[in-house]
Chain A
Amino acid sequence: MTSPAVAPSTSPPPSPTTGLGNEVREGLRIVTPAALAALPMGLAFGVVVSQSPLAWWWGPVFATVIFAGSLEFLVLGMVVAVAPLAQIAATAFLVNFRHVFYALSFPLHRVHGRGAKVYSTFTLTDEAWALTTGPQAQRWSRRRILTIQAALQVMWVAAVTVGALVGTLIPDSVVGLDFAVTAFFLVLTIDAFRVRRSVPAPVIALLCALGSYLLFGDGMLVAAMTAFVAILLIQYALTRVKRRSAHA
């Protein structure tokens, strides 16, 4: 990831010809493909909620309050298994740790006002970051950025709600829809693999997962992820030492 140079926060406001309505319209134009792409996953999450022991309306509650796609799937499973809160917090931390990097390029300096900054960081999802990470976004108006983020949230909550309601109509003889979660993670794994194409990384992760499951059962997530990150850090330290001794 390259972090573009930080644009001065005193860059000129949008010219008078681009009115406030235009900024909203422009934001909606930018966000539409991403919002449509998130639709099936939202529907799938809603359906999974409706097939769980929880009432359907927990779907929109999860979607609005957590607003982090993959974590919602996981928290649902953990809540159904009545997992300890500390384990849920640790999982949220490890699964969403990637968001830490989004601060490197997200144009928060364009979003003025405390309330707006709170909302903007609260809704800084993968999609919101991906749409605002280009150099041109460093000069976008607050209204355009917030339009993009709000549209993504409204679309996600709507999709989850529809999925949760439609899901209650699915007959009991149809089973196995929860595989959508697995497929979703597999697809993201393949996409992440394409970044470095390093075979050992997923193999090591799989071994961490298997070992942690044998040791801890349903409480495996934190142990597996901690072990995997620890191995990455050791690997990082070793390559630094090697590089340093090569220079010596």
Chain B
Amino acid sequence: MPEPTYIITAVLVSSAVTWALRAAPFAFLAPIRHSALLPYLNESMPVGVLTILAFYTLRHTPVDIAPQTAAAAAALVTTAALHIWRKNAVLSVVGGTTVHVAIASTLPLFS
């Protein structure tokens, strides 16, 4: 169990970094407004950063024939399929999570 002082420091650090990223560019961005690098990074960074984050959340899933693995795989496919089909973020997240909870909560009972 982490210490409360550590948690609050972590929250404040995250908050300060985020606020700096939101506020500082108003002062510093003007000179590089016309640089071609900014729009390039703006277009190509998010898809990779988000892929890494999605991987990170699954990093402890065993690569194995385990109930956890089956639940994660089925839920990933469900989420992606729903999102490609309907483009509705809420529907995709709720659908994928429901499949995950259903499999992860019931499959261990049978094995």
Chain A positions near chain B (C-beta within 8 angstroms): 1, 3, 37, 40-41, 44, 53-54, 58, 61-62, 65-68, 70-71, 73-75, 77-80, 82-83, 85, 88-89, 92-104, 108, 118, 121-122, 124, 173-193, 195-196, 198, 201-202, 204-206, 208-210, 213, 218, 220-221, 224-225, 228-229, 232, 236
Min CB gap B106→A, angstroms? 9
For window 34-80 of chain B, which residues contact chain A by CB distance below 8 Å?
37-59, 71-72, 75-76, 79-80
Residue contact B76 to A186, C-beta cutoff 8 Å: yes
Residue contact B13 to A210, C-beta cutoff 8 Å: no
CA distance in complex: A245, B57 (Å) = 43
Q: State the main secondary structure of chain A at its contact with B.
A: helix
29 contacts between A and B (CB under 8 A): A37-B90, A40-B90, A40-B94, A41-B93, A44-B93, A75-B11, A78-B10, A89-B17, A95-B53, A96-B18, A99-B25, A101-B38, A103-B22, A103-B26, A108-B26, A121-B23, A177-B97, A182-B57, A183-B92, A185-B54, A186-B79, A186-B92, A187-B93, A188-B89, A189-B54, A201-B51, A209-B55, A209-B56, A213-B55
CA distance in complex: A179, B55 (Å) = 12
Residue contact B2 to A225, C-beta cutoff 8 Å: no
Total interface residues on B, CB under 8 Å, equals 66
Min CB gap A243→B, angstroms? 10
Residues of B within 8 A of A101 (CB): 25, 38, 42
Residue contact A122 to B55, C-beta cutoff 8 Å: no
**Which single residue of chain A is at the shortest CB-CB distance from B88?**
A187
**Which single residue of chain B is at the shortest CB-CB distance from A221?**
B56
Residue contact A179 to B101, C-beta cutoff 8 Å: yes
Instruction: Select B47's contact among A3, A180, A192, beta carbons within 8 Å.
Output: A192
Is B6 among interface residues, defined by CB-CB distance under 8 A?
yes
Residues of A within 8 A of B84 (CB): 190
CA distance in complex: A188, B12 (Å) = 26
Q: A186-B79, A187-B92 are in contact. Are A89 and B26 (CB under 8 A)?
A: no
CA distance in complex: A180, B58 (Å) = 11
Min CB gap B56→A, angstroms? 6
Q: A103-B26, A121-B26, A124-B22 are in contact. Are A187 and B89 (CB under 8 A)?
A: yes
Residues of B within 8 A of A224 (CB): 52, 55-56
Residue contact A97 to B45, C-beta cutoff 8 Å: yes
Residues of A within 8 A of B48 (CB): 201-202, 204-205, 208, 225, 228, 232
Min CB gap B77→A, angstroms? 10
Residues of B within 8 A of A198 (CB): 44, 47
CA distance in complex: A130, B1 (Å) = 38
Q: A66-B14, A75-B11 are in contact. Are A97 and B21 (CB under 8 A)?
A: yes
Residue contact A181 to B11, C-beta cutoff 8 Å: no
CA distance in complex: A175, B7 (Å) = 25
